Amino acid sequence: MLRLYDTKARRVEQVVPDGARGLRMYTCGPTVYRYAHVGNLRSYLLSDMIRRVCERHGLRVVVCQNITDVGHLVDDAEIDPTGEDKILRQARAEGRSALDVARFYEDAFRQDIAALNIRPPEYTPRATESIDLMIELIAKLIEKGHAYVVDDGSVFFSAQSFPDYGEISGNRLDELKPGHRFDKPDPRKRFHADWALWKHSHRELTWEAPWGRGFPGWHVECSAMSLRYLGDRFDIHTGGIDLRFPHHEDERAQSNAAVGHEVVAHWVHGEHLLFNGRKMAKSAGNVVLVRDVVEAGLDPLAVRLAMLEHRYRQQMNLTWDTLRAADRTLRRWRRRVAEWAEHPSRPMAAEYAARAKAALDDDLDTPAALRVLRELERDESVPPGSRFETFLELDHVLGLDLSRDIGAAPTLPPGAAELLERRERARAARDWATSDRLREELAAMGVKVADTPEGQKVVLD
């Protein structure tokens, strides 16, 4: 059964109890005020891979992923009660309403997720449509003595009321210092590490609450939604590594304080994705969107394959060269699968399949699983029909759409596929002499090759 690294436990653990029939998972969703870049999407690939592996074990997986359409900034103190958050600022820049902006970028996010073959969650509640859930949760926390109302109608969570604070990130309350960016702590707080559950305001995107008009704090929405859609005990909570603190610490405190016990069994975090050695940012000029990949003539699933070449909790550096290499591999595998499909069906290569599945069960060791596929691709002792069945079986988990070209690929003469692969490698290495020689050998076999921005195109005489 699947084992993953639990950030709170600080070790790899089996994430589904023996005998369980299902798995429930919460994934922190996007704040929909701009296009998601490929670095953002890595977190959603993590939850998709967990789902796919568990489903191959026969489990029913239920996923909830929120849509943050109230655009909070990361630090509560950065939001002035009368100021603008991310979505409001973007709405002003685009001359549209805040909800129009949110819906536009929500749709764009769904299209990007689909392009990477990431399956949609069962539940995708929007923050703006879940305000009642948040108000109900805040009221419960006030009643239990974990939250307090201040004079202007804002509500804060009392961090000192939750002694276990810091178990995910290691940031204990007695070691936390007030934020260095501000001259003095918010005087409304009883303790500098308290955080806002409800913020008094009369700006756009505010709602009436028992404490006055305002809007919810960032952390409370995930607690309210996960408790509503997954219940007060669920198996896995995923997100990017940057969410460990304060978001997931605050969320855990809210949820556990409200119900009186540990809600999340396992906290699983994915590492950062860099591009050309730097974190993606507008200021760095290295933000890459899915549509940029498509406009470069690459299959968007090349992004998925490139990410799978690294463990989810390993920081990775993406470049255009790695994306092009992944695109070439993807197209070659589809061509090989289409070629193998022409041969008689044979049972899977059981030893290869078992090794790849064991790698995936072992903390999602996707690089090891891909190495198994490459080894199988080269193993001519395995019948083509067996390689076909094994590649498709593993593609149910990897999600690379390797059967896409079945029925569309030309039937190549014996030995031509190997020459095409060698030529592809030669071109990638800029070995033009070898590339030209292999083109002539292919032509003598009746296989004409045209080089296009998408790679080699084959025409049979």
| Strands ordered across the beta sheet of 273-275 | 278-279, 273-275, 316-318
Helix 320-340 vs helix 416-428: crossing angle, to nearest 10: 180
Sequence-distant (6+) residues with CB within 8 A of 321 are: none
pLDDT on residue 460: 65
Q: Which two tokens stand for residue 438?
A: 């292999």
pLDDT on residue 83: 45
Sequence-distant (6+) residues with CB within 8 A of 364 are: 2, 4, 46, 49, 50, 53, 311, 312
Q: Confirm or deny that 28 is annotated as ligand binding.
A: yes
DSSP 459: E
Residue intervals in the chain for CATH 3.40.50.620: 3-270
Q: Which residue ranges in the chain fall short of pLDDT 50?
A: 73-83, 180-183
Contacts 24+ apart (CB under 8 A), 370-377: 370/305, 370/308, 370/309, 370/398, 373/333, 376/349, 376/352, 377/333, 377/336
Residue matched to tokens 């399956």: 119
Dihedral (Cα; 238, 48, 75, 162), 10-degree rounding: -20
| Residue 152: CB atoms within 10 Å | 13
Burial of 276 per CB tally in 10 Å (0-12, 13-18, 19+): middle
344, amino acid identity: P
pLDDT on residue 408: 58
CB 280 within 8 A of CB 37: yes
Sequence-distant (6+) residues with CB within 8 A of 24 are: 61, 62, 63, 64, 230, 231, 234, 235, 236
Q: Confirm or deny that 54 is annotated as ligand binding.
A: no
Q: Confirm or deny that 219 is annotated as ligand binding.
A: no
Reference 307, options 275, 285, 283; nearest CA is: 275
State the fold for domain 3-270.
Rossmann fold (3.40.50)
* Residue 302, helix vs strand vs coil: helix
Q: Which two tokens stand for residue 459?
A: 């025409």
